[in-house]
Structure formats: C-alpha cells, structure tokens
Structure 1
C-alpha cells in the first residue's frame, strides 16, 4: 500500500510541477537556514572529549581577601597564580595533573628557504599529552627529569613538522624559538578540536598551539604569557620574579580524578592547602572557597554557547515555521482542488483513513525532497560562515547527526503542516461530487 501511495504522490507532483517545486524550495530554504545555525550550535555544545570529560577537572581557588570581588558570577578567578600552580603541581595528589600557560615565539631553523614566523606555544607539564588524548607520529613527550631540569626540548604539531621538515621524522632536529635552540622530542598528530576547552580564558574557538614546551621553562627562561593576566590588588611587579610571587592569575590547571572518591580526596587536599597558605598570610578571608569543574561544567561556566547562539537557533526555527505556513496554504489549495477526485475514490470504497494516509505520504515525500535540498543549502551557508569567521572553521560543519537530522526535521514538520489539509480533504462528501460528474 505504501508503494501505491508513493506512486500516487509522484503522479501528483508531475500534475502540478510548479506548485510542488515551490513547496520543496520553501522547505529546503527553511531547512537550510535552520541546519546552518543548528549545526554550529551542535558543534559548539558538543562534548569535546566524551571519554574523559567527567574525569578531567579544572581548579579554581578564591585567592582574594575579604572585601574584594571578582568579575565572575561566583566571585572565583578562572585561573591560578604561578605559585599556587607550582605548589599544586608538586603536590602528592592526584597522580596526573597539568599546569600550563599560553605563549609564543619567533620560529626559525637553519634554512634559506623557510623564513622566520610567529608560532603559538603552550608551556605545560608532561601529562598534557596523555590526559588530553594526543597521539604522536614521531617520538613522545619530554620526561619528568627534563621537566625538572627545564631542558630545552619541544614537541611540535604535525602541521608545523610539515612546514619545517616536509613531514619527515624530526625527532632530534633543532629549531630556534626567539634566540634559543630547542631539540624536537616529539611530533603530535593533527588535533581536531571543536572547542579549545583546556584554555577557555584565551579564546574558546582558537586553533590549538603548534609548539609545546616544559612548564619549568617559564621560570628558567622568563617566558612571558600571551594569555590573560588578571589581579585583584595593586602590586609592584617590576621584575619577572615579582610576577611569579604575585597574586596575579595567569596559569591554567587541570587534574585527572577518575571517580568520586578521588575527587573528594582532592577537594579535601585543596581546602587543607588553602588553610596552610592562610597561615602564611594569604587568603585573608573567613570562608575559604575552591571549585572543581569537569570539562562540560567548565564550558557551561564560561558560556561557550552564549545566549546569542541560542537565540539565533530559535530565530532559524521561527523562519522554518514561516516557510511551513506558506506551504500550508499551498497544500490547502492543492488538496482541495483534488476534492472531486477524492469524492470519486471515496464512492468507490476508499476509507477516510486511506485518503488521509495517502496525503500524508505525499507531504512526507515533499519533506524528504526538501530536506535533501536543504542539506545542500546548509552546506553553502556553512561554507559562508567558515569564510567569514576563520575561528569557526572546525565548528561550521555538519556531522552525521546533523546530516540525518535535516531530512527527519523536514519530514516531521511537513507532516505536521499537512495534517490539517489532509484531514480536511478526507472529510469530502462523495455525494456532492458524484452529482456534479
């Protein structure tokens, strides 16, 4: 019976090609606009590391004295001071943790062909690569011993390795960052991130860094940060050493806590640490506060998906509703025009249910065609987004979920729009049209 209804629907399309194409085009435009905004929203809000998102926690400490406030909604700084980051990195628990900051250098090698260029860098601890699931093409991370001795080593990205060494194994090679030489110890595979969740303080949708160096080089080489630095009181930081001992926050810190027991143990340790620092003259406040947030909580806390994005998705669905309202009018005109034909079918024994289902199959076919064309329009829209906003390059795409959602949304909304016209035409009184034949 379904095949028969599909055949009738196709015949109906061919009888009224102009009206049918107008309806398909209206659906396609509505779906194209909707899926463009919905795809970007979907990629923004997607879990960036689902296998570990509930085990990776960022650390926040309330470092300010009583009477001072911060700009965040819960009055907690989003980053740590250097001294707190170092103390927590050297702590006995947890086993795996990361201190890091963003920086950059002038990159060059002994070559007359490759000109010096600016490369973004991340100074971090060795666990960075395993905790964030990075894989190596060549070599690996630096050792704990190299971290402790502030060795001049570097891990580079696959993209940078292609640029500097034509994609060959560069482990053991030397590159120059500013005026200092560094030995390449590893090359990581391309890291495709939709959201730079590990450092939301410095651009949620920026590309990952291309250079990774030991965190201990921050102090050893006095590496300046390229990220945000904030403070809550006036401090004279005339030297780099002053900044390291100051209350300015500029370091990101993550810890791997595999279960609730580990999380509670670490929470207890953070409180004990703050109490110890309080005895040393810091954290002059009655109530000591800290926070552990996992990846998704951290993204929500930092409003990665802003209200503007949500409003844009809502407006796109409203546009789709306007398109369907126009389709509803066309369906009413088309179906009621066939009322004499339906009257004859009813007189020959077709039930109201059969007539109703036939017309729903027809609108579902309209939705399917419109959904497929809508995917094409959405791809054009996403291409325009990528060209207009380079930092949306990894976001303005349609994954398999969105590709399947487009025809489903189109078919569902078309069926909803076609319910009333189909119900109206199936109520046709056969006697009226038999008398007129």
Structure 2
C-alpha cells in the first residue's frame, strides 16, 4: 500500500509541477537556514571528549583578599597563580594533574628551504597527552625526569612535522625555537578539536598548539606566555622571578578524578591547601572558596554557546515556521482542488483513513525532497560562515547527526503542516461530486 501511495504522490507532483516546485523550494530555504544555525550550535555545544568529560576538572581558587572582586559571575579567577599551580602539581594526591600555559616561538631548522615562522606552543606537564588523549604518530612524550630537569625537548604536531620535515619520522632531529635548540622526541597525530576546551581563556575556537614543551622550562628559561595574565592588586613586578611569586593568574590547572570519592577527597585537599596558605598570609578571606568544574560545566561557565547563538537558532526555527505557513496555504489549495477525484475514490470504496494516509505520504515525500535540497543550501550557508569568520571554520560544518536531522526535521514539519489539509480533504462527501460527474 505504501508503494501505491508513493506512486500516487509522484503522479500528483507531475500534474502540478509549479506548485510542487514552490513548496519544495520553500521547505528547502527554511531547512537551509535552520540547519545552518543549528549545525553551528550543535558543534559548539557538543561534548568534546564524551567518554571522559565527567572525569576531567578545571581548578579555580579564590585567591583574593576580602574587599576585592573579580569580573566572573561567581567572583572566581579563571586561572591560577604560578605558585599555586606548582604547589598543587607537586602535592601528593590521587589522580593525574597538570599545569599548563600558552606560549610561542619563532621556529626554524638548519634547512635553507624552510623560512623561520612564528608558532604557538603549549608549556605543559607530561600528563597532558594522556589526560586529553593525544595519540602519537612517532615517538612519545617526555619523562617525569625530563620534566623535573627542564630538558630541552619538544613534541610537535603532525602538521608542523609535515612543514618542517616533509612528514618523515623526525624523532631525534633538532629544531630551533627562538635562539635555542630542542630535540624532537615525539610527533602527535592530527587533533581535530572543534572547541579548544582545555584552554578556553585563549581563543575558544582557535586551533590547538603545534608544539608541546616541558612546563618546567617556563621558570628555567623565563618564557613569557601568549595567553591572558590578570591581577587583582598592585604589585611591584619588575623581574620574571617576581612574576612567578606574584598573585597574578596566568596558569591553567586540570585534574583527572575517576569517581565521586576521588573528587570529594580532592575537594578536601583544596580546602586544606587554602587554609595552609592562609597561615602564610595569603587568601585573607573569611570564607575560602574553590571550584572544580568538569569539561561540560567548564564550557557552560565560559559561555562557549552564547545567548546570541541560542536566539539565532530560535529565529531560524521561526523562519521555518513562516515557510511552513506558506506551504499550508498551497497544500490547502492543491488538496481541495482535487476534491472531485477524492469523491470518486471514496465512492469506489476508499476509506477516510486511506485518503488521509495517502495525502500524508505526499506531504512526507514533499518534505524529503525539501530536506535534501535544504542540505545543499545549508552547506552553502556554512561555507559562507567559514569564509566570513576564520575562527568558525571548525564548527561551521555538518556532522552525520545533522545530515540525518535535516530530512527528519523537514519530513516531520511537513507532516504537521499537512495534517489539516489532509484531514479536510478526507472528509469530502462523495455524493456531491458524483452528481456533478
């Protein structure tokens, strides 16, 4: 019976090609606009590391004295001071943890074919690769001993390896960062991140860094940071050592806690740490406060998906509703025009249910065609977003879920729009049209 309904629907399209084309076009435009905004929203809000996002926590400490405030909603700095990050990393606690910050260098090799260029780098501890699950193409990360000794080693990305060494195994080779030489000990595979969730302070949609170096090099070689540095009080910081000992926040700190018990134990440790620091003249507050937020909570806290994005999605669905309202009028005109034909079918034994289902199949086919064309229009819209906003290049795309959602939304909304016209035509009284025939 379904095949018969599909055949009747196709015949109906061919009898009224102009009206059918206008309805398909209206649906396609509505779906194209909706899926463009919905795809961007979907990629922004998707869990970037779903199998362990609930185990990775960003650490925040309320370091300010009473009477001082921060610009965040909960009055907590988004990063840590260097001394707090170092103390927390060296503490004997359960679970992996890491300190990191963003930096950068001028990169070149001994080869005359590669001109020097500037690249961002991540100064971090060796736990970074396992915690955030970077896979290696060649080599491996540096050891804990190399971290403690501030060894001049570097892990580079697959893209940088391609640029410097034509994709060959570069482990053991030397590259120069600014005026210092570093040994390549590993090459990571491409990391297709949509949202740079591990560092939302320095470009939410920026590409991951191309180089990774031991965090201990920051102090050993007095490396500056390419990220945000903020303070809450006036300090006489005239040397790099003074910056390390200051109350300025510029280091990100993450921990991996596998269950609720580990999280509770770490929370107890953070409170004990702050109380201990208070005895040394820091954290002069009546109420000590900290925060542990997992990946998704951290993204919400940093408003990765802004209210503007949500409003844009709502407006696109409203535009789709306007398109469907126009389709509703065309469906009413088309279906009621064929009332004599329906009257004859009813007289020959077709039930109201059969007539109703036949017309629903027709509007579903209409939605399917409109959804497929809408995907093409959405791809054009996403291409325009990528051309207009470079930092949206990773999120202005449709994944498999969105590709499936487009025809589903189109078919569902068309069926909803076609319910009233189909119900109206199935109530046709066959006797009226038999007399006229």
Q: Is the pair's TM-score, using the shorter chain for normalization, greater than 0.5?
A: yes
Cα offset for 1:95?
3.7
State the partner residue of 2:108: 108
- Aligned runs of 1:350-389 on 2, under 5 Å? 350-389=350-389
Counterpart-to-counterpart distance in 2, 1:95 and 1:257: 6
Gaps of 5+ in 2: none
1:283 aligns with 2:283: yes
- 1:25 corresponding residue in structure 2: 25
Q: TM-score, normalised by structure 2?
A: 0.99
- Aligned twin of 1:270: 270
1:324-363 to structure 2, matched below 5 A, reads 324-363=324-363
**1:342-393 deviation digits (Å, cap 9, x = unpaired):** 1111111111111111100000000011111111111111111112111111
Residue pair 1:79, 1:253 contacting (<8 A) in 2 also? yes
Partner of 2:401: 401
Residue 61 of structure 2 contacts residue 77 of structure 2 at CA under 8 Å; is this kept in 1?
A: yes
Partners in 2 of 1:105 and 1:286 — Cα distance? 43
Offset of residue 62 of structure 1: 0.3
Separation in 2, partners of 1:393, 1:158: 19
- CA distance in structure 2 between the aligned counterparts of 1:29 and 1:221, rounded to whole angstroms: 57
1:254 is paired with a residue of what secondary structure?
strand
Structure-1 separation of matches of 2:108 and 2:349: 84
1:136 aligns with: 136
Aligned to 2:321: 321
- Distance between the aligned counterparts of 2:138 and 2:350, measured in 1? 71
- In structure 2, C-alpha distance between the alignment counterparts of 1:390 and 1:135, rounded to whole Å: 26
Shift of the alpha carbon at 1:416? 0.3
Q: State how far apart, in whole Å, the 1-side matches of 2:382 and 2:94 are.
A: 42
Q: State the SS of the aligned residue for 2:200.
A: helix
**Large movers: runs of 4+ above 2 Å:** none
* Cα distance between partner residues in 2 of 1:285 and 1:111: 56
Match of 1:295 in 2: 295
Instruction: Indicate yes or no: 2:243 matched with 1:257.
Output: no
Asked if the contact 2:41–2:305 (Cα under 8 Å) also holds between the matched residues in 1, the reply is yes
- Kindly indicate whether the alpha-carbon contact (under 8 Å) linking 2:58 and 2:293 is maintained by their aligned counterparts in 1: yes
Deviation at 1:7, TM superposition (A): 0.6
* Residues 50-65 of structure 1 mapped to structure 2, 5 A cutoff: 50-65=50-65
1:316 CA displacement: 0.6
Query: In the alignment, what sits opposite 1:233?
Result: 233
Does residue 421 of the first structure (1) align with residue 382 of the second (2)? no
Does the 8 Å CA contact 2:95/2:262 hold for their aligned counterparts?
A: no
1:427 offset after TM fit, Å?
1.1
1:197 match: secondary structure: coil
1-structure distance, mates of 2:327, 2:51: 44
Kept in 1: contact 2:95–2:258 (CA 8 A):
no
CA drift at 1:436 = 1.1
Cα distance in 2, alignment partners of residues 333 and 180 from structure 1: 77
Aligned-partner SS, 2:320: helix
Correspondence for 1:34: 34
Q: Would you say the 8 A contact 2:60–2:291 is kept in 1? A: yes
SS at match of 1:182: strand
1:400: how far off? 1.0
TM-score normalized by structure 1?
0.99
1:94 to partner: Cα distance: 2.8
Q: Paired residues, what number?
A: 437
Show the 5 A alignment for 1:49-198. Answer: 49-198=49-198
CA contact (8 A) 2:103 2:120 kept: yes
Alignment of 1:299-310 (within 5 A): 299-310=299-310
Contact 1:94 1:255 in 2 (8 A): no
Partner Cα distance (1:350, 1:265) in 2? 71
1:243 aligned partner: 243
Please give the secondary structure, in 1, of the residue aligned with 2:198: helix
RMSD: 0.6
The alpha carbon displacement at 1:112 in A equals 1.2
Q: Distance in 2 between matches of 1:63 and 1:349?
A: 81
User: Can you give the 5+ residue segments of structure 1 that lack an aligned partner in the other structure?
Assistant: none
2:102 counterpart SS class: strand
What is the alpha-carbon distance in structure 2 between the residues aligned to residue 237 and residue 109 of structure 1? 35
Give the 3-state SS of the residue equivalent to 1:155 in structure 2: strand
1:29-71 superposed Cα distances (whole Å, 9 cap, x missing partner): 1101111110110010000001110000010000000111100
